[in-house]
Amino acid sequence: MDVDPALPGMGHPDDPMGDYPASPPDRHPLSPGSDQPGDPDHPSDPVSTCPVSPGTVYPNEPAEQQASGSTHRETLYPNPVSTCTPDDEVVYHSIDPFLDITSDEEDDWRDPTTGGIPLRGKKPNRGYDMHQCPLITAVHASGIHELRVRPCRCALGRHIPVFDQMLYMGLYPASRKQTRTVFTFEALDDYDLENLETKASAAKHYDKLIRLTANAFPSMVPKRYRELLRIAREWRNLKSRQRAGYAYSPADVIPAGGLALFCPTCPQPGVNLPEDWRDDPDKKKYMRTLLADGNFKQDHLVMKYDEDDVPLSDGHGYMVTKAPFDTYLSATSDPVTVEPSCHEHRAVSQQNQSHAHLDVTGIGAIACGRHGCFYPHAVVNFRKGEGQRYMDYAFVQAILYVRDLLVVLLLYDIMCQFWVNFLKRMRAMPDDLQLPGGVEFKRGIGLFHVHGHVKECFARYAPTFIQGAGMLDGEIIETLWNLLNYTASSARAMSWFHRQEYIDTHMGDSNWKKLIGMVAAIFQKWKNAVDQAAESDQDFQSLCASVGKEKFDKWSAEEADAQNRRNEDPTAMDIFDIKEEEAPGKTVMANIWIYRELEPNTATTRGSTSWITMGIRITEQQIELRKEVRKAGKFPTPDQTKKILEKRQSLQQQIDTFKAQSRAFCSLTNEPDPDPSASTLPDDWEDDPDQPSGTDGTHEEEEILEESSDGREAERVAVPLPSSFGKVACKTRLQSLAAIELDLRIGQANDALRFLRIAIGQKSFNFRTKFRVGSGNSGYKNRLRNYAENHTLQMTIDQAAQVYLSSRRAMETLGASQEILSKFKILTKAHISSSTAVVDPNARGERNNGLSWIWHTQHDPAKDPAWLDELYRVNWLRAKSRRDRWAEELALTRAEMDWTKLFHQHRRDQWLSRANEAKANYPKLQYYAHKQAKTWDLLVSQVDNALSRMN
């Protein structure tokens, strides 16, 4: 093929680590007979000696490679510099990325019709007409170019399709019949990488190319945006097949998820586990952790014309195959929505909600809970909200992906509701979706979401109390959504299958980044586990020394019994929480008012309770954010600044939403002014005298915050609740809403006092068992660690105190009676100080020291020894749980490093096997296989280095 002129940078790069499709999509160019000179089965095959076939010498290759006749360029697509037979008078020119554009040599010439781009070598023959040498548009990474080309028509080359000739030249035609546009491989790689890293859309990328081509005259540049969308799909599909090894067995049927890359560290029999793994006595570390979540950003618009939509890899990546999933949905239905027994979550309340302009309202995905890698063929589209049947299908696909590991931990933010009929739904699954026999399920809720549930859910579902989970927060998928959501605006208007492949590509890139960073991540987790396992064990032993053997044996038996019964009866785990008759909290108060709203002829506007609850929750988040600002101090790090700004942005969005909804309940003609004192501690609160200088939070940061704040930060904006409008408004136009808020504030105060009692009791307990028992806790390092733990408890106490103060101020504004205000007294620093009297009221010198009033609202330790014993028991159980989880984490991280090495070795051996197979059948494909094997071998070496540091 004659190309006039050359594009700077065209051709295959010399980087040996680059990966390019080894074959055109219509046929395998290196199949037997196509590259074997003298093949007896193809004696007249012209490809064997055509100058655009393998066997040509290329520029910029080392002399020894030219002499050997085996070059990198030859392996994938040649770039000829020799000439055809003399009769054809066609000269082939070097497409050289290193042309000297300033050279004045005779062999360098410029063509004014192409902008004077220099060419090195002989000037192309102009004797043929322009119909045989058509003008085409070439899209390159440097811009959009127009040039003339002439296919090879010699006796040897005319049998090679023009499409193949262009592929050999590093050009991807936009059509197979009459090619008028081509994309260089570098252009497609450039767009692919830019889209993955910056999430720039194809439209933005093409706009960049237009500016690179003619910044002052963009209208003169050919528009090839639609062609870029289509060819980029084909290019990604080719590369995914190549990376998965299907170029070496093109006849193989690609299974579900066959083109997807999965986690190298999760246990997978036959891939990264030793052959004798079943004989390992430590069975807990082979538990798989599946983390599920929904994403409502990834919706999809209804297509006007979907009959021309063509799938290239339906079900080969992370999203499930469309037809079987549609069949499953048509045969199943979600159960009738019932009143949730826990808090109302979006996944429950909107599970059957649809939108007329959307055929997909979001996606649901399964990721490995410990490492954050998406599971292949386990991402589903929501048609009507986050219904149970969608996530059932996703869970089943993930479980079936690794069939031999039968202990599975399921994490889902609404697991308490989702699990109710889960096993029943599994038994009703179609035959092809039936789970393997003997599967044992454990279930949990991530630590962030579980605190939004009723308090009982914490002990029943928090990963902290799940055996075998290690130190797991169960929220890692939220970090994956953060990056994937940048693609939502581009994917929303794509065709169905284009969107599916687009999401697959970005999920695959996410998994690849996890893979290459896995060794460093595991090593860091192992280092942390080494320290924390020793510390948590020392803490637990200290607690054991302070309790008698009788209680030790009793509590150990209770803990073992609860763990054994938790799968059948989650309430057995309630022993990890304090048993007490509690005053009604905010949730109980909210439920009472919601029931009143549902009564006929009620005077309360429906939805007002939920609206006020949202506002109170926002005020609590403001207090939390102010704590973050204080913690960051005068000179926050860039990461701390980024975290604070992100939280401010999220909080401001919630405030804007709350204000928009408020129009349905009250008028905002007089919006309240900011009230900084509503969420700060009083000025007379001094530092904790029990803490050494510099280890507990002084309020110097509070002054810094005051100096830099103008009242417009999200954490300081007054939320327009009834209490923000003053006493007069609460007694007149906002009277009905004020009554609701008053009850909710009472519940909020009860919750805050409960947190205060638990935290103060824990802090006082620490002083008795860690600071004053002597043995095992002396020494500078241990004292610093104990002070740091108490510092964390003190921050929790301060935050609960701020919530209480905020609720009590609101009670005054809302017109609370004197009886209520006398029960909820004004809180001072002295009321929440730690004291030996809390844990040992009979100690010397403590007989006449009365406890703060916060202990008398429900329990008085001096008069209620049973409650004090309950506090001891819960502290002991939680310390044991912490010790056990860190011990599991230490064992898991060590095993995970070994599993990662075995995974890399497995992939290396796969590519070496493909190289050996290609040697007999497809000799030109050995190069890529050996290159991949080398990459995986380097990753094995990386693991070996980490293991040497761990031993």
Summarised one tens digit per residue, pLDDT across range 896-935 is 999 999 999 999 999 999 999 888 777 888 999 999 999 9
Whether 713 and 628 have beta carbons less than 8 Å apart is answered as no
| Better-scored residue on pLDDT, 354 or 43 | 354
Biggest CA pair distance of the chain: 116
Confidence of residue 433 (pLDDT cuts 50, 70, 90): very high
The reply to whether omega before 5 is within 30° of 0 (cis) is: yes
Which pLDDT score is estimated for 719? 86
Which residues, in sequence order, are CB contacts of 239 under 8 Å at separation 6+? 19, 20, 21, 192
* Site of tokens 């990604």: 236
198 and 297 part of one domain = no
CB 271 within 8 A of CB 906: yes
At position 232, the amino acid (one-letter code) is A
Long-range contact pairs involving 173-178 (C-beta distance under 8 Å, separation at least 24) = 174/224, 174/227, 174/230, 174/231, 176/26
User: Over the stretch 669-707, which tens digit does the pLDDT of each residue have?
Assistant: 455 554 544 444 444 444 444 443 333 344 444 444 444
pLDDT of residue 47: 35
Cα–Cα distances (Å) from 755 to 575, 759, 793, 801, 895, in that order, read: 17, 6, 11, 9, 38
Note the residue count of the chain. Answer: 951
Separation between Cα atoms, residue 768 and residue 846, nearest integer Å = 14
| pLDDT-derived band at 711, boundaries 50, 70, 90 | low
Q: Identify whether 773 is part of a domain.
A: yes
Both 312 and 193 in one domain: the answer is: no
Helices (DSSP H) in 814-864: which residue ranges? Answer: 818-823, 836-839
| Separation of alpha carbons 862 and 845, rounded Å | 14
615/495 same-domain check: no
- Residue spans of alpha helices (H) in 485-517: 488-491, 496-516
Supply the pLDDT for residue 377. Answer: 98
| 440-444 and 135-140 beta bridge pairing | unpaired
- The candidate with the shortest Cα–Cα distance to 243, out of 221, 227, 258, is 258
Instruction: Confirm whether 524 is domain-assigned.
Output: no
Q: How far apart are CA 498 and CA 13, in angstroms?
A: 29
Q: Strands 143-150, 2-4: parallel, antiparallel or unpaired by DSSP?
A: antiparallel
Based on the domain organization, do 203 and 312 belong to the same domain? no
Q: What percent of the chain has pLDDT over 70?
A: 73
Neighbours of 368 (CB within 10 A): 22
CA-wise closest residue to 715 among 637, 671, 654, 800:
654
Q: What is the mean pLDDT of residues 296-315?
A: 90
**Range 10-17 average pLDDT:** 36
Model confidence at 579, in pLDDT bands (50, 70, 90)? confident
**Mean pLDDT value of segment 70-85:** 36
What is residue 178's predicted lDDT score, i.e. its pLDDT?
85
Which one, of 457, 455, 673, 687, lies nearest residue 583 by Cα? 455
pLDDT digits over 265-282, tens only?
A: 999 999 999 999 999 999
Q: Which pTM does this prediction carry?
A: 0.69
Predicted local distance difference test score (pLDDT) of residue 734: 82
Rounded to whole angstroms, the Cα distance separating 724 from 671 reads 8
The token duo for 407 is 């202990």
| pLDDT category of residue 936 using cuts at 50, 70 and 90 | very high
Does residue 10 or residue 823 have the better pLDDT?
Answer: 823
Residues 291, 230 share a domain:
no
Sign of CA dihedral 140, 145, 151, 157: negative
Nearest CA-CA partner of 123 in 5, 244, 207: 5
Tell whether 918 is covered by a domain: no
- Reading the block at residue 674, the tokens are 């900011």
Per residue in 201-221, pLDDT (tens digit) is 999 999 999 999 999 999 999
pLDDT of residue 68: 38
Please say which residue of 499, 516, 533 terminates a domain: 516
Q: Are residues 233 and 325 in the same domain?
A: no
* Rounded (10°) angle between helices 865-921 and 549-565: 50
Count of other CB atoms within 10 angstroms of residue 424: 9
For the chain, how many structural domains are there in total?
A: 3
Evaluate whether residue 306 is within a structural domain.
yes
Given this model, what pLDDT does residue 30 score?
30
To which residue do tokens 């809403």 refer? 737
- Is 739 in a helix, a strand, or coil? helix
Q: How confident is residue 632, by pLDDT bands cut at 50, 70 and 90?
A: confident
Mean pLDDT is lowest, of 168-177, 370-379, 604-613, for 604-613
One domain, residues 458 and 364: yes
Question: What is the per-residue pLDDT for 198?
Answer: 95
Measured CA to CA in angstroms, residue 934 lies from 260, 271, 288 at distances of 21, 18, 30
Q: Tell me what the mean pLDDT of segment 780-803 comes to.
A: 75
Question: Cα–Cα distance between 905 and 111 in angstroms, integer?
Answer: 53
- Which of the given ranges, 181-190, 381-390, 803-812, has the highest pLDDT on average? 181-190
Q: What is the pLDDT of residue 893?
A: 97
Assess if residue 845 is contained within a domain.
no
Cα angle for residues 903, 907, 913 (degrees, 5° grid): 140
Of the three residues 813, 838, 863, the one that is the final residue of a domain is: 838
The pLDDT assigned to 110 comes to 40
Average pLDDT, the chain: 78
Tokens 């002014």, residue? Answer: 673
217 and 351 in a single domain? The answer is no
In one-letter notation, the amino acid at residue 651 is L
Q: Which of 516, 543, 564 is the last residue of a domain?
A: 516
**Per-residue confidence (pLDDT) for residue 150, from 0 to 100:** 83
**b/e map 440-456, b = 16+ CB within 10 Å:** ebbbbbbbebbeebeeb
| pLDDT at residue 600 greater than cutoff 90 | no
Residue 542 lies in a domain: no
Both 239 and 373 in one domain: the answer is: no
Residue 536 confidence class, pLDDT cut points 50, 70, 90: very high
For the stretch 148-206, pLDDT in tens is: 888 888 887 778 888 999 998 899 999 988 889 999 999 999 999 999 999 999 999 99
Task: Pick the more confident residue, 561 or 737.
Answer: 561
Residue 318 belongs to domain spanning = 277-516
Dihedral of CA atoms 90, 95, 100, 105 in degrees, nearest 10, equals: -10
Residue 84 corresponds to which amino acid? Answer: C
Asked if residue 114 has pLDDT above 50, the reply is: no
- Within 8 A by CB and 6+ apart from 527, the residues are none
Q: Quick one: 650 and 799 in the same domain?
A: yes
Residue 129: Cβ within 10 Å count: 7
Confidence (pLDDT) at 829: 80
Residue 729 lies in a domain: yes
First to last CA, the chain: 59
**pLDDT top residue among 850 and 308:** 308
pLDDT of residue 785: 64
487 and 586 inside one domain = no
Domain identity same for 377 and 431: yes
Q: Does residue 562 lie in a domain region?
A: no
